[in-house]
Structures are given as structure tokens and as C-alpha cells.
Amino acid sequence: MTRLCAGLAVLLWAIGAAAELVPQALPGVDARTAALLLSGQRGGSIRAAVSAGPVTPAEGAACRLDAWIEVDGDSLLGDPRSGSAEVEVSIYAMAAAGRVTAFEGVLLHLDQESLGERLRRHGLRLHRHLAVPCGVQTLRVLVLNVATDEFFLGEAEASLAGEGWIVQVLAPPGEWVEAVSGDLATSPPAARPLLRPGSVVWLALYPPGDGLQAIEARGRLAGGAPEAIATPMSEAASSGAPGEGRTMEWLVPDNAAEGSAELQVLIAAAGGDVVLRVPVSVGRADGPLTWLEAEAQAAPAAPPASSAERLPSATELRAEYLGVLQLLTGEDVPLALQTAAELQRRVIGDGNAARRERLARTVLGVAAEVAGDGGRHLSPLLWLHLELFHHFAGAFDHLHATAAADHVVSLTGLCDRGRCSEQVRAAAGWALASLGGAHARRASWQPARRHFRRALALAPELDEARLGAAAVAEWIGEYREAVDVMRSQENSPGAGGEALLRLGVNLRRLGEERRARAVLQRCASADAPQWARVVALEELARMELAAGRPGEAVALLAPAVGSLPGEPSLRLLLAHALEGSGDMAAAAMLLRELAAAPGGLEESPRLRYTRWSEESAGAMRRAVRDAARPVLPALAAVLAERRESS
Amino acid sequence: MRFLTCLLLATSATTDATAELRIVSPRAGEVVHGVVPVEVEAGEAAVRRLEFYVDGRTAGELAAPPWTLRVDLGEDNVEHLIEVVARTAGGRRLEASVRTGRIAVHEEIEVTLQQVYVTATRRGERVLDLRAEELELEEDGRRQAIVTFARGEVPFTAVVLVDASLSMQGEKLAEARAGVRAFAAGMRPLDEARMVVFADRIRTATPFSTFPEVLVASLAGAGAGGGTALNDALRLAVAQLDARQGRRVVLLLSDGVDSHSVLGMAQVLPAVRRSRAQVYWLNLEAGRARDGATVRSPWRTAAEHQEESRLLVEAVIASGGRVVPAPSAAAITAGFADLLRELKEQYVLGYYPRERRRDGSFRRIEVRATRPGVETRTAPGYVDL
């Protein structure tokens, strides 16, 4: 059973239990997600918090672990014109020694029109429950805005109910946009409890053992001034079932001071006295109910305490960044990269927006200073930040990879409105195509789409960007967009085989059969890579079969099978077409031959079609490097001039 | 068809050089069927390439001795024309041919015994002690007399399709190996199987074998990678079984998301209906049904993916098989064991249909158990061919 707000759809896209997961061994988006979740990183630019219920007995040998994720709605919403916003939420449960015991991936579709306002005001609360082995678990959660690639990484500990005392402050009802899965009778724990003076707060108390012992509980707030005396808690309800909590009520003192505090629960029980502690915030008596609403009402925050490093001043930062560029122009590229990476880590910390902004402004400011006429000195900077992106992405450091990618994109912005020479625009296009390819490889379709399209805007003749943009558009089901991207190739005598193929396949999807056939026929007979010719022939044959013309398909495929004998897909289609033509014996023989000759380990043409070429990925990176190297002496001279003048 | 005709014309031309090339086996007039070795003697000729044709179609070629190629002649009692064409180092073309024989019959009597495979359950547990008289069989609504009745002892021929695409990486493929091993070890001496490992194309396939070692070896080095061409693999599996006799089974282990086939499931479904093979699907992503699933691929929209999954389930049901949910990798071995047990516990009923039309029409079959509370599962019918 799933309880949802109207306008919200939840799709489960991955589920597992007791699986040993190795990030490098997982495919596509799973690999990135796993790596992020297992990296131990926390933070990100989406405001969210995670809480976990205790691990409680369930049916069979497994236990149940409830997870709640509270997310700031503003950071999930995108362009209101796009209708729906997509958010991926991945949840891992891990036992001691880092063993993954359960995982779940959820894709949320948020209807911006119906939910936007409520999301902005109150946020989203998602509940999932996982089957886990009985024992202490750590929940790790990744919330990813699919459109922007912004994310949140969080963690919560879950103890085994019955093994010791556990206390949790329960969340007030709130007005969340809510998605709750499964039967859920009790209130969830608050991920970041916010108490209001003079109001009742409810707590869930899980005693050790069978939980039935008589207890006396009192509460007090410590850490906030003034120090309060402990006041009694009363028991509101208890099911008495093993593993289920006892709900306690406590009146927050009228004089509780605003700010961070610790709620201490003092328990007197037969086994002895116990003090349990929960970090809380105290708000205003008439203030908001949840931490998200409280933060939304507060003034823009200063950099949080979690970014422990001191934020360098703008002048200091500029000097350090110029130092990195000097290393680069001195051709000590590894040291320049290492220094730049350290600088970025130190400045951005755990992803605080203000810190990111300051570094971005520094990079862009220096770039504008040194760019020169037609942006001729920009290529080395593009190269530096592109390499930083690949460095961080390779280490599954999503936070810093995203920041590095942002720097590349903002540098290419200096070329807008024709301010750069054709050469520099080409370098910017290569850098963006490289970013697009890297995002496409990780199934980050929306960022990939943006990068490829921007690459094409700067360098319209960049075939690699065009192919990438079309491939990504197909992945997200935007077939018209794929056609639009490729339209210029339709009547171009020099159009490449892959371009013709993508154009033809998407024209067919849009029902434009005549144009599709013409383009696919050009591809099949052109000097195209074999995989592209095979897919073109497949699609032409499928068109004939779909139109009820198996004889035409046989006429097309029989010679193709002769000229491309190693392609089982063409033989399979020929067999199908022969069957359709009534030649069952010939079809049966062909099928038996096919079955007797496995296709081996090579990538099939249809699989090759689904990705951007690896060769292009390498070529784009090399092209940026090759564009940057000749410019380094000139950039060095500019940097030297600035040193002397300062 | 023009291509095939040209091929036939080319290979039927004779030259004086045929004396130097001889097909040693099979001999002219010999009755052969199934997979047979075609053995050629080249004498002193310096053969660089030897092409084999069966009934005018390419069967394979060899570039070095021994000049023996195994070809599949099918199971029908028909003559075959086997031709070989050699190209020598000196550029000569040598040819030889034999025509195999067929079993001579004075009168052809059509034996039309139809076999129906039935699984009987009561409250989810299989019922193993039904007697023939406790079962009723109807074809197109007309009661049929059950003339043969057996349980489990009828051997089967299986094609085990193991999905080794990227989504099977890690524990899933390891469990698949364990499951296949257990399945192969549990087969009886007359059961035989062929293991096929597929991803976006067929990767490896064993011959049909009764030996567990042969079957398991196919998976030993199999790593996960690539896309999923489930429809294509299923179509080929059915074709392989069409050439076999007796009880035929396809066991499919996959997450069921086809992303790279050239055939749609709508094109495979008729072949499954025509075939007498039972298709069982060990569905590795059964858990997705909880909240619905979203699948993206460049070849299909989400709605098309859902339709493909629906049609796969339809094919399974139409074959008389079933979908076995395996919500986690840990359930794979148990799933294989359950399927093997089901095959061993299946009832096999035989009857003579009142009329055979052989017109491709669908003949509806219904099997009922008269014992209270017992439910039966079988293919809903067959295509009369």
C-alpha cells in the first residue's frame, strides 16, 4: 500500500536485499549511486534530512527498517514550464563492516503545477521500509534532482529495538507533500526535531527486552539557557507489542530559549537510571512546526559550521587561483591539477552554496581578466577545469565534479554573443561535449542534454556534440528533439553514417516513414561503420515487416546476409520475414543455423547505437588539451604582466 | 529469394574436377537426421577453403583439414542434397554432392496423439497422486478420451536461457550459475538440456546434453555485460525445440526487460503459440511490481517496455508455463529447484483429437480435475499445423 499526495507518483526502479555491492562492479547510474552512497560523503546543495526508525522484528528471519527523508521542496523543483520534476532517491542500509544489506531506488515524479506551492512552503516527506537482517544498521540516502544534478547525501543510524534504550522525538503532523509506503500506524521520528516552548512534544521510547517494564520518565533541555529542571513525561499510548515503542508526551517549558539544545530523557526503571539524549532545536512558541519551514523563514544562512575550513577572502582566493594558473603555464600539469583540486576542496567544503559561489566568481573573474582578445587565453582554463571534472568524477566525488563542471560551463559563457574566436569556441564546444559524454555515461541525462546543446550553440559544426545530443534525446524519449538536432544532415552530402542512422530511426518513430526510408537507405549503402549499416538494414526491414510486406523484407535482407554474414540479427530478421512469406522450411533452417552459431562477446549493433562513442569521449578531451597547450606561453606572459603591475 | 536461386545455380554447375573431391559420409541414400558430420576427402588437392551446402543453403565452411563439418539436417523424414565446393590454392573449383535417403513407407498413417502437460495443485501445493480417471480433457469444448497417462517420468528437452546482461552483474550471475548447476545435477538420465547465455546477442551455447558437466561449463567463464535481447533469444530457443521431439521446455532466467532485440515480443508470441514448448520465466525483478516500474531505453518508450513485459507474460501463459517470481538473487537457486520439481511432477496426458484440420487454427484445450479443491494448469490450446 502506498499513500501519496495527488500529483505525486513514486516509481520503484531498483530493489535488493542482502546484496554485496561493489561500486565499480555496478552498471551506469547504479555505479555512481553506489559510489556516492558508499563514499562516506555527506551534504550537498539540496537541503534534506534523514531519520530511521529502530530495526524491529518482521515476518520471517528479516527485520524491518523504516526510513524517512525530509526534503526542501524548493530545491527539487525546476523550470515550472516543464510540468513535472523528477527526483531520484536511493537508500542503502548497511550493517557493521560496511556490508550493504538492502537497497532501494525510487523515482519521484512531482507535478509542479499542483504541488509546487505546497512543496515550496512545507517540503517533501518520503517514507520507505526495507527488509534488513536484524541488527544495527546505517541508512545512507542520496536525493538527486535529475534535472539539475544537485544532490543531498545523508546518513542515519538505526539500533535494534529491544537491545538497549532508544528514544526519538516524533515529528509533528506538518503539511508535507507526503509519500508513505506500506502500513504505517505511528508518527515518524523527526529528522531534525524542532521544539516550541509551551507546546507538547511526543517521543517514542523503546525500552530494552520485552519493553513491558514499568518506567518513570522525565525530560529537560540542556545546553540552552536557562538550565531547566526535569519535568515529568506521561505515557500517551502503548501497544505492548515487542519491538514497538511507547509514546511519551512532554510539555516543552515556556522559558526554553531559542537555538540548539539537547533534550535529556531521564528514566528511572527497575534495571537502574538511564539518561538518553537527543539533539534538538528550540524555535519560537508561535513559530513554524518543522525545521524546513523554520529555515525557509529565516534570513539566508551564513556558511554552516560543517564547512570547517575558514573561507578565504576574495583577494586571497584570487591570488591562490592565479598561482594554480602559473603552475599550469609552467607545464607542471599534474601539480597544477593537484593544487587546483586541493583549493577547490578547501573552499567548497561540504558543498555550501555561498562557498561554491565565491570560488565560481573568482574563477570567472580571473578568466575575464586574462582572456584577451577573442578569448584567446581561455583554452588553458577550460582544459584545467575539464581535467578537474574528470579527476573528481573518476573518484566518484560528485560534489566537486559538479562544481568543476559548473566552472567549465561558466567559462564557456565568456564566449557568448560571439566574443570568442572560432578556435576558442571550438575548444569550448569540445569541453562541453566532453562533459556531456561523461554525464551521459552516468545516465545523467538532463545535464548531458544541456552540455551537448550548449556545445552545439557554440560550435554548430561539432559532429560529436550533435551525435551526443541526439543520443541523449532518444534516451529521454524526445524523438522530435533528436530529429531537430540532426535535421541539417538530411540533405548534407557529407553526412556521417551514424548521423543518418539517428535521423532515420527517429523519423521512423515520428511516423515520417518516407523520409526515414530515404535516410536509412543512404546509411545502409554509405561508407558508414558496419554497426550503423546493420542497424539501418534492421530498421528498413522492420519497416517492411510492420507494413505487412515480408517479401520486401526478404528481398532487402537476403543480399545483406550474404554481404554481412557475421550479423545474427539480420539472419534472425530474414528468418522472420521468410516465415511471414510462408517459407517456413527455409525459416526453420535459418533459425537452426543461427542457434548453432552463438554471436560471441562482441557488442551488438543495437547496443552500440545506445551510447555515445568512447572514441569521441577521448577525442574531445585530447582536443581541448591540444588547443590549450600552444596558448600556455601567451597566458604565462599575461600572468607575468599582472604580477609585475601588482 | 533471388539470392538463393543464384546460389543454387552456381553450386549445381559441374566440372571435370569433381573426381578429386568426395563426400565420405553420409553416403548417398543413407537415411540421416539431426546433427550429422559431413566428412569430405580432398585427395591430393591443395584445398584452401571448403564450403558446405544443405538443400541449397550455406551450412558452413572450413579453411583447414580435417574436412568434417557437423550440420543439422532436422528431424523430418526427407531427402537432403548435401553439396561441397572446394577452392584450391591454384584457383580451381572442385565440387561433390550426395543425396541422402528417407525411410521408405508403403502407407503413411498419421499418428496424431496430442500430449498435454498438466500441473495440478491444491492450496498452492502440487498434487502428486491423481489418477487418470480423475482428469477430464476437452478440446474446443468436446470431451476427449485420455489414452495415455503418466506423471513426471516423461523425459524433457530444455533450453535454459540465462540472461548475462549488465544488470545481472555480481550476485545475480553467481546465483544463476548455482541454479543452473543444481538444475543440471537434478536432471534424470533421459532428460537433456542446452544452456544458452545471452545478453544483447547469444554469447555461448552448449549442445543438447544430458551431462551436467557440459551444461555447467558454459557458464563458468560467463561475465555479465551488454544489453538484453530477450525476445531474440526466446525466438531462437523455441526454434531449437521445434526440431526436437517429446516434452519441450524453455527456462528463462532474466529480469525480463528487453532492450536490444530486433524482434518485438508481438512477433515472438505467435512462434511460442505454434510451438509445443512450455516457457517458464524465472523473473528476477518480481519485486518491482510493488510500486510499478520505470524502464528507459533508446529503443523503447516506457509504455512500450510495459507492453513487452505484458506480452512476455502472455507468451508464458500461452505456453502452459508460468512466471516464477524471484524477488532477489538469493531466490534463484530455489526457483530453479522448484521448476525442476514441477517438471518431474507434471502429468502428461495423451489423446487423439477427433479431427485434425492442419489449417493453423487454434484448438482450445481445457483440463479439469474432478477431485475437490484441485486446480490444474496447462497450455490453453495449440495451433493445429
pLDDT tens for each residue of B133-154: 999 999 999 999 888 888 877 8
The chain B residue lying nearest A554, using CA atoms, is: B1
What pLDDT, on the 0 to 100 scale, is given for residue A227?
57
Binned at pLDDT 50, 70 and 90, residue A302 comes out as: very low
Helix (H) or strand (E) holding A394: helix A378-394
The residue among A461, A451, A515 whose CA lies nearest residue A483 is A515
For A494-535, the pLDDT digits (tens) are 888 999 999 999 999 999 999 999 999 999 987 889 999 999
Which comes out higher in pLDDT, residue A339 or B8? Answer: A339
b or e along A172-199 (b: 16 or more beta carbons within 10 Å of the residue's beta carbon)? bebebbbbbbeeeeeebbbbbbbbbbeb
Judge whether residue A2 has pLDDT over 60: no
Cα torsion B159, B302, A570, B197: sign: negative
- The residues in B 74-113 lying below 8 A from A, measured between CB atoms, are 74
**CB distance B201–A554 less than 8 Å?**
no
Residue A270, classified by CB atoms within 10 Å of its CB into exposed (0-12), middle (13-18) or buried (19+), is exposed
For A61-87, the pLDDT digits (tens) are 678 888 889 988 887 776 666 667 778
Choose among A475, A558, A579: nearest Cβ to B298. Answer: A475
The chain A residue lying nearest B73, using CA atoms, is: A589
For B100-109, the pLDDT digits (tens) are 887 755 444 4
Do the Cβ atoms of B130 and B345 come closer than 8 Å?
A: no
The chain A residue lying nearest B240, using CA atoms, is: A592
- Probe site for chain B from A607, A608, A610 (most B CB atoms < 10 A): A607
Which comes out higher in pLDDT, residue B13 or B59? Answer: B59
What pLDDT, on the 0 to 100 scale, is given for residue A463?
92
For B297-314, the pLDDT digits (tens) are 788 887 888 889 899 999
* Percent of chain B clearing pLDDT 70 (strictly above): 89
What's the mean per-residue pLDDT of chain B?
Answer: 83
| Residue indicated by cell numbers 480417471 | B133
What pLDDT, on the 0 to 100 scale, is given for residue B109?
43
Binned at pLDDT 50, 70 and 90, residue A309 comes out as: low
For B169-215, the pLDDT digits (tens) are 777 888 888 899 899 999 988 899 999 999 998 988 888 888 888 88
Least confident of A286-300, A407-421, A602-616, B326-340: A286-300
Judge whether residue B15 has pLDDT over 50: no
Query: Are β-strands B156-163 and B247-254 bridged in parallel, bridged antiparallel, or unpaired?
Result: parallel
What pLDDT, on the 0 to 100 scale, is given for residue B12?
32
On chain A, the residues whose CB falls within 8 A of the CB of B55 are: 589
Work out the average pLDDT over A14-19. 35
Instruction: Please tell me the distance from the alpha carbon of residue A498 to that of residue A56, in angstroms, as a whole number.
Output: 55
Q: What angle do CA B296, A507, B232 make, to 5 degrees?
A: 50
Q: What angle do CA B240, B241, B242 make, to 5 degrees?
A: 95
How far is the alpha carbon of A545 from chain B, nearest alpha carbon, in Å? 10
Binned at pLDDT 50, 70 and 90, residue A607 comes out as: very high
On chain A, the residues whose CB falls within 8 A of the CB of B218 are: none
Q: Which ranges of A79-165 does DSSP label H, i.e. alpha helix? A: 112-122
Judge whether residue A372 has pLDDT over 60: yes
Tell me the three state secondary structure of residue A418. Answer: helix
**CB distance B229–A606 less than 8 Å?**
yes
- Probe site for chain B from A101, A601, A609 (most B CB atoms < 10 A): A601
Least confident of A42-51, A397-406, B104-113, B348-357: B104-113
How far is the alpha carbon of A120 from chain B, nearest alpha carbon, in Å? 26
Judge whether residue B292 has pLDDT over 60: no
- The residues in B 274-333 lying below 8 A from A, measured between CB atoms, are 287-288, 290-294, 296-299, 301-302, 327-330
Which comes out higher in pLDDT, residue B330 or A327? Answer: A327
How far is the alpha carbon of A611 from chain B, nearest alpha carbon, in Å? 9
Judge whether residue A47 has pLDDT over 90: no
Work out the average pLDDT over B52-70. 87
The chain B residue lying nearest A474, using CA atoms, is: B298
Work out the average pLDDT over B55-71. 87
- Note if the bond before B26 is cis, omega within 30 degrees: yes
Least confident of A170-184, B112-126, B169-183: A170-184
**CB distance B242–A471 less than 8 Å?**
no
On chain A, the residues whose CB falls within 8 A of the CB of B227 are: 604, 606-607, 610
What pLDDT, on the 0 to 100 scale, is given for residue A59?
67
For A404-415, the pLDDT digits (tens) are 999 999 999 999
Binned at pLDDT 50, 70 and 90, residue A243 comes out as: low
Task: Give the list of residues 6+ apart from residue A71 with CB closer than 8 angstroms, or none.
Answer: A46, A47, A48, A87, A123, A124, A125, A126, A143, A152
Which comes out higher in pLDDT, residue A41 or B1? Answer: A41
Can you give the length of chain B in residues?
385
CA B44 vs CA B16, B18, B21, B47, B293: distances in Å: 15, 13, 9, 9, 65
The chain B residue lying nearest A471, using CA atoms, is: B298
Cα torsion A462, A463, A466, A471: sign: negative
Which comes out higher in pLDDT, residue A105 or A477? Answer: A477
For A567-600, the pLDDT digits (tens) are 999 999 999 999 999 998 899 889 888 877 776 7
Q: How far is CA B193 from the centre of its chain?
A: 9
Cα torsion B312, B318, B324, B329: sign: negative
**CB distance A477–B301 less than 8 Å?**
yes
Do the Cβ atoms of B124 and B334 come closer than 8 Å?
A: no
- Note if the bond before A226 is cis, omega within 30 degrees: yes
The chain B residue lying nearest A482, using CA atoms, is: B298
Choose among B200, B202, B259: nearest Cβ to A598. Answer: B202
For A422-446, the pLDDT digits (tens) are 999 999 999 999 999 998 887 778 8
What pLDDT, on the 0 to 100 scale, is given for residue B10?
33
In degrees rounded to 5, what are phi and psi of residue B86? -110, 140
Which comes out higher in pLDDT, residue B43 or A552? Answer: A552
For B233-255, the pLDDT digits (tens) are 999 999 999 888 888 999 999 87
Instruction: Please tell me the distance from the alpha carbon of residue A273 to that of residue A266, in angstroms, as a whole number.
Output: 7
Instruction: Please tell me the distance from the alpha carbon of residue A76 to that of residue A145, in angstroms, as a whole number.
Output: 6
The chain B residue lying nearest A479, using CA atoms, is: B298
**CB distance B201–A569 less than 8 Å?**
yes
**CB distance A572–B235 less than 8 Å?**
yes
Instruction: Please tell me the distance from the alpha carbon of residue A52 to that of residue A129, in angstroms, as a whole number.
Output: 9
Work out the average pLDDT over B63-86. 86
Instruction: Please tell me the distance from the alpha carbon of residue A239 to that of residue A113, in angstroms, as a whole number.
Output: 41
On chain A, the residues whose CB falls within 8 A of the CB of B262 are: 538, 542, 569, 572-573, 606
Binned at pLDDT 50, 70 and 90, residue A21 comes out as: very low
On chain A, the residues whose CB falls within 8 A of the CB of B290 are: 12, 15
| Residue indicated by cell numbers 498413417 | B109
